Amino acid sequence: MTMTTTKRLLAVLATSAVALSLAACSSSPATTDGASGDGIKDCNVGISMPTRSLERWINDGEQLQKALEDAGCTVDLQYADNKTDQQISQIQNQVAGGSKILVIAAIDGKVLAPVLDEAKKQDATVIAYDRLINGTDNVDYYATFDNYKVGTLQGQYIEEQLGLKDGKGPFNLEPFAGSPDDNNAKFFFSGAWDVLQPYVEKGQLVVPSGKAPKSDDDWASIGIQGWASDKAQAEMDNRLSSFYTGDQKVNVVLSPNDSLAIGIEASLKSAGYAPGASYPIITGQDADKANVKAILDGEQSMTVWKDTRALGDRVFQMIKSIAAGEEVEVNDTKTYDNGNKVVPSYLLDPEVVVKDDVQSKLIDSGFLKASDVGL
Ligand code: BGC
């Protein structure tokens, strides 16, 4: 059996396992009046996603909604246009409408405490989805990918590609960080900066723009509000025009995710950079279609892939357990302190995707279609 065939078989088996676990629930659908035959009760779920402007959140919301509805749950899925007030009022409406389980990917993890007080008065169970919710006791579980590891993988990729362990350098680095209101952004940054900062100190990495945080805690100084591609592009335009004069070239850009990477790549393109030997290394995260195309075209070096289907399946399992009054499985009870408590979490494993992995990891597993990325 060839390697590719083995991988395909594994992917089919994995997909069938998810289908079976979902089918097991849908065989005797839950009811919303608490009278289900298979023990699923009060399966009335409100899902609150941050925005439709990013591919991943559309997939996350729709996949989870479908799995839950197939299992007989009532689901209200809302997107908040990246506006915190809108997210708060959508959650209020879900609580008023009878949602007993809330799945929330917060826009700003610090502003939801009051609305979650209301949710608790109605006995709702709250799952923080992908992003932690801070400053409240009223968040029961957290399901996410290992966010620190996402950053570590980006940092290690840069370390290996540039031969930093072998003492090579100096290389010009431009680091970026995610949205200051997103709790994940500091984990992504620290994961990467813990690998890269020692090389900045040794002079193997140089940051011509001076935008090198002094420590992990200083990450928000280079954060891009709302993870907006156009803001990342404008920031990169500024750095290139102000600090890269003469022969000075960027060798590497630490981008925490794909939406920032797209903006950075557009900026590089308009400054005359073209794929080839002297094109910079650029990191990313999410395996968005446009970025996977960019990887195939040599405009982006890698992305950290988080299989959102696995996250959806994990949250589905949590909801099943909550509704059945059973213990919810978690695998981390120490990392995610939200200021009020350490939230019991389930962390999934992210993985690096480079050009050679696109077929085997993203397409053979069904995460993307070949036609999505021009293959
Ligand atoms: C998510 C990333 C995403 C970013 C922007 C983060 O909280 O974990 O996957 O790229 O938000 O939406």
* pLDDT given for residue 37 in this prediction: 38
Same domain? 289 vs 341 = no
Pocket of ligand 1 (CB under 6 A): 54, 56, 130-131, 182, 184, 227, 257, 259, 285-286
Say whether pLDDT at 290 is over 70.
yes
User: Which of the 8 DSSP states describes residue 361?
Assistant: I
Same domain? 168 vs 88 = no
In this structure, the residue with its CA closest to atom 6 of ligand 1 is: 184
Same domain? 71 vs 152 = no
Nearest ligand 1 atom to the CA of 144 is 8
Reported as a single tens digit per residue, the pLDDT across 92-102 is 999 999 999 99
Give the structural domain span for 292: 147-306
Residue 40: which pLDDT band, with cuts at 50, 70 and 90? low
Same domain? 106 vs 181 = no
* pLDDT given for residue 212 in this prediction: 97
The closest of 45, 94, 50, 41 to 69, measured between CA atoms, is 45
In this structure, the residue with its CA closest to atom 5 of ligand 1 is: 227
* pLDDT given for residue 42 in this prediction: 66
Distance 340 CA to ligand 1 centre (A): 23
Q: Tell me which of 28-32, 109-113, 128-132 is least confident.
A: 28-32
Same domain? 152 vs 87 = no
Same domain? 173 vs 302 = yes
Tokens 């408590």 sit on residue: 341
* pLDDT given for residue 81 in this prediction: 94
Instruction: For residue 60, give the CATH number of its domain.
Output: 3.40.50.2300
Residue 125: which pLDDT band, with cuts at 50, 70 and 90? very high
Q: How many Å separate Cα 178 from the centre of its chain?
A: 11
In this structure, the residue with its CA closest to atom 9 of ligand 1 is: 286
Distance 209 CA to ligand 1 centre (A): 25
Say whether pLDDT at 8 is over 70.
no
Same domain? 301 vs 311 = no
Helix, strand or coil, per DSSP, at residue 45: strand
Mean pLDDT, the chain, as a whole number? 90
Q: Give the global pTM.
A: 0.89
Say whether pLDDT at 19 is over 60.
no
Say whether pLDDT at 3 is over 90.
no
State percent of the chain over pLDDT 90: 87
* pLDDT given for residue 41 in this prediction: 64
* pLDDT given for residue 332 in this prediction: 97
In this structure, the residue with its CA closest to atom 10 of ligand 1 is: 257
SS (HEC) of 203-221: CCEECCCCCCCCCHHHHHH
Say whether pLDDT at 13 is over 90.
no
Average pLDDT, stretch 1-23? 39
Distance 109 CA to ligand 1 centre (A): 13
Is 360 contained in some domain? no
14 or 343, which is more confident? 343
Average pLDDT, stretch 204-215? 97
Same domain? 132 vs 155 = no
Burial category of 14 from C-beta neighbours within 10 Å (exposed 0-12, middle 13-18, buried 19 and up)? middle
Number of domains comprising the chain: 2
